[in-house]
């Protein structure tokens, strides 16, 4: 599933290609994904309006048309956009096709159908995101206080920190030197500070890597959210730890997800 940096990369690409364009035709190819897909009548409020901006909040993408209504898209596990000329062949697993005034076609595809497309307004409240100006050690300490759940489950809870998934939670915990299966309430103030800084650092590095992966006119296709990132523990099970060069990366399961860590570097 795309995490915050991957969604952010897609939003940057969409903004560079679509800002100032407009939707002139809305073609729904299937009635629903995770929820119902608006039909062309419902989408009339957005049709023929210029795309003023495209923004990310948590893992959701918001198309801003300068009115009270927005197009909100969540990629789910396998969703992606495809931007093509009208002469290109139709994409597989296409659920919504948007004809643009520029002559291009923007298609949303999703093979597993866990994504969502809505016409909505800006959210009243947003969850704290892992950025320097938003996530603080004080906030994280309050969230951890007396909690018996694992620290990894806590920082992946989208109601506590928005956007952290398995990859970046694993990397942040490694950077902070904390085992993923430690109870959240067991963390000391110094550990919470390290973890807060680590969450911010790994997300910042990934966002920079994503934005550096394309130019001013990026391609928008299935590969837009895939860019090279360096991981120290994620998907490194049984490999020698890059930091200590002693232990092999171990794996435990937390909330049904594999969680890799170094038994020597993480306590």
* Under 8 Å between Cβ of 159 and 129: no
Q: Give the side-chain half-sphere CA count within 13 A for 81.
A: 27
Active site residues: 2-3, 59, 257
- Confidence (pLDDT) at 154: 98
- Confidence (pLDDT) at 86: 77
Split the chain (267 residues) into runs of 10 and give each run's mean pLDDT. Answer: 94 97 96 97 97 97 98 97 81 93 96 97 96 96 96 97 96 98 98 98 96 90 91 96 97 93 98
* Under 8 Å between Cβ of 98 and 18: no
CA dist 156 and 158 (Å) reads 6
**Which residues make beta-bridge pairs with 56?**
61
- Confidence (pLDDT) at 88: 67
pTM comes to 0.94
| Element at 82 (helix H, strand E) | strand 80-85
Ordered by where they begin, the domains of the chain are: 4-120 (3.20.190.10), 137-213+227-261 (1.10.8.50)
**Which residues make beta-bridge pairs with 100?**
23
* Under 8 Å between Cβ of 16 and 213: no
- Confidence (pLDDT) at 87: 62
CA dist 119 and 121 (Å) reads 7
CB within 8 A of 239, min separation 6: which ones?
248, 249
Write the CA distances from 244 to 37, 239, 241, integer angstroms.
50, 12, 6
- Confidence (pLDDT) at 255: 86
């Amino acid at each position: 599933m795309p995490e915050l940096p991957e969604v952010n990369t897609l939003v940057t690409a969409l903004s560079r290609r679509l800002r100032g364009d407009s939707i002139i035709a809305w073609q729904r190819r299937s009635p629903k994904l995770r929820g119902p897909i608006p039909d062309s009548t419902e989408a009339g409020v957005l049709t023929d309006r210029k795309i003023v901006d495209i923004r990310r909040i948590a893992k959701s993408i918001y198309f801003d048309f300068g009115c009270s209504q927005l197009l909100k898209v969540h990629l789910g596990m396998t969703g992606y956009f495809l931007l093509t000329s009208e002469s290109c062949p139709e994409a597989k697993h296409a659920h919504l096709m948007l004809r643009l005034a520029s002559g291009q076609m923007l298609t949303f595809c999703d093979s597993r159908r866990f994504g969502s497309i809505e016409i909505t307004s800006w959210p009243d409240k947003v969850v704290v995101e892992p950025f320097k100006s938003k996530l603080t050690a004080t906030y994280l300490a309050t969230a951890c206080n007396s909690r018996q759940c694992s620290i990894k489950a806590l920082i992946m809870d989208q109601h506590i920190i928005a956007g952290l998934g398995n990859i970046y939670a694993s990397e942040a915990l490694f950077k902070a030197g904390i085992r993923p299966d430690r109870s959240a309430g067991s963390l000391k103030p110094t550990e919470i500070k390290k973890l807060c800084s680590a969450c911010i650092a790994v997300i910042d590095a990934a966002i920079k890597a994503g934005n550096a992966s394309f130019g001013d006119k990026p391609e928008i296709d299935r590969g837009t959210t895939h860019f090279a990132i360096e991981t120290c523990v994620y998907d490194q099970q049984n490999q020698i730890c890059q930091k200590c060069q002693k232990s092999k990366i171990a794996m435990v399961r937390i909330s049904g997800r594999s969680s890799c860590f170094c038994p020597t570097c993480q306590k």
